[in-house]
Amino acid sequence: MTSRRNLPSGAGPTRRSLLVGGVGVLGLGLSGCGLGTSGGFVPGGAVAGPIGEIDLSGATIGVGSKNFTEQIILGKIAVILLRSAGADAADLTNIPGSSSARQAMLEDQVQMQWEYTGTAWIAYLGETKPIPDEQKQYEAVRDRDLKENQLVWLEPAPMNNTYGFAGPSETIEKLGITTLSELSQVPKKDLTFCVESEFNNRNDGFVPMLKTYGLAKGKDFPADNVKVLDTGAIYSATDNGTCTFGEVFTTDGRIKALDLTVLKDDKEFFPKYNVAPVLTEAVVDEYPAVVDLFGPVTKKLTDDVLITLNAQVDVDGKDPADVAFAWLTDQGFITE
């Protein structure tokens, strides 16, 4: 998982292809006409509840995001929060590719966006080994990015958008398992997997994961028990029984929509990808109240919350800005 895919929800390219492909798009997106984003209409309100006293009048903050569902929703949350607190927040969400979004921050074209700890540690900061402990991973990223790039990582959310394996809830219940360690107890005929091509072939992907959990393809189950599919097709294939276990992103909205159950990665094979607000140091120094604005909101962003919000866009067809605004008002952070 060293390059990190960037599409947890919906159809389209994988996160990793966006990360790699974004370099080519970058020159186009950041030259001439500016960032190639499509912000659209964002509803507004007034801050309330635990953030009701925060005033960011006078602040000018460009908000970016990558161009997949979860990131766009989070970006809209940030735009709404900042505008509701009085800031002039430009909506520059939907930047094509992780590299483009990262470069936009490094060049100060955007001053805030949500980012994943694993992505920063491995893809941006050039490390090869993830840190298993979530807090230590965050602290390492926070300290390095501040020192090297003058980027401030606020406290991360509890959500962890990483790889996982899931199966239909009814099937998982019949098998009587809850963890990846228990795959070794599953009959060979039921040890069928749907994976994407890249994950199937990477040296930190499917085969090493099986080894971690005491299994070997071709030995503990037939090699043809593994189906290699496009990312988007894995969810429906898992749902319809083409395979018992499908490779998923752990905050994908289709997990809930299709009633899939994610097996616990009890040996912590997969890296941690907690999301956190990231701002330029200059903005935080001039407007320190921005830390208090995002803190209470970030704490509410659990896996279940992101699964629900992602599903509202990818399954129900709602607009990301409307989903973001409705959630913020429901949580008491914004009043209309």
Q: Can you give the residue ranges of every domain in the chain?
A: 15-160+273-335, 163-262
Higher pLDDT, 85 or 123: 85
The pLDDT-based confidence of 210 (bands split at 50, 70, 90) is very high
pTM of the full structure: 0.85
- 15-160+273-335 and 163-262 agree in CATH topology: yes
Distance of alpha carbon 189 from alpha carbon 225, whole angstroms: 8
pLDDT at position 97, please? Answer: 87
Q: Using CA atoms, how far apart are residues 266 and 182, in angstroms rounded to an integer?
A: 10
How large is the angle between the packed helices 303-314 and 320-330, nearest 10 degrees?
A: 140
Three-state secondary-structure class, residue 267: coil
pLDDT for the residue 37:
56
Please give the structure tokens belonging to residue 92. Answer: 């520059």
| Inter-residue contact 25 to 96 (CB < 8 Å) | yes
What fold does the segment set 15-160+273-335 form as a domain? D-Maltodextrin-Binding Protein; domain 2 (3.40.190)
Return the pLDDT at 34: 46
Which of 260, 251, 268 has the alpha carbon at shortest distance from 114? Answer: 251
Asked if residues 180 and 266 have their Cβ atoms less than 8 Å apart, the reply is: yes
Distance, in Å, from the CA atom of 334 to the CA atom of 50, rounded to the nearest integer, reads 10
Residues 133-165: pLDDT tens digits? 999 999 999 999 999 999 999 999 999 999 999
Give the integer Cα–Cα distance in Å for 39 and 308.
Answer: 22
Closest CA to 120 of 197, 63, 66: 66
pLDDT digits (tens, 9 = 90+) for 7-22: 333 333 334 334 434 3
How is domain 163-262 classified at the architecture level of CATH?
3-Layer(aba) Sandwich (3.40)
Quote the CA–CA distance of 145 and 86 in Å, as a whole number.
28
Residue 181 burial (CB count, 10 A): 16
71-90 residue pLDDT tens: 999 999 999 999 999 999 99
Residue 170 phi/psi, 5-degree rounding, is -65, -40
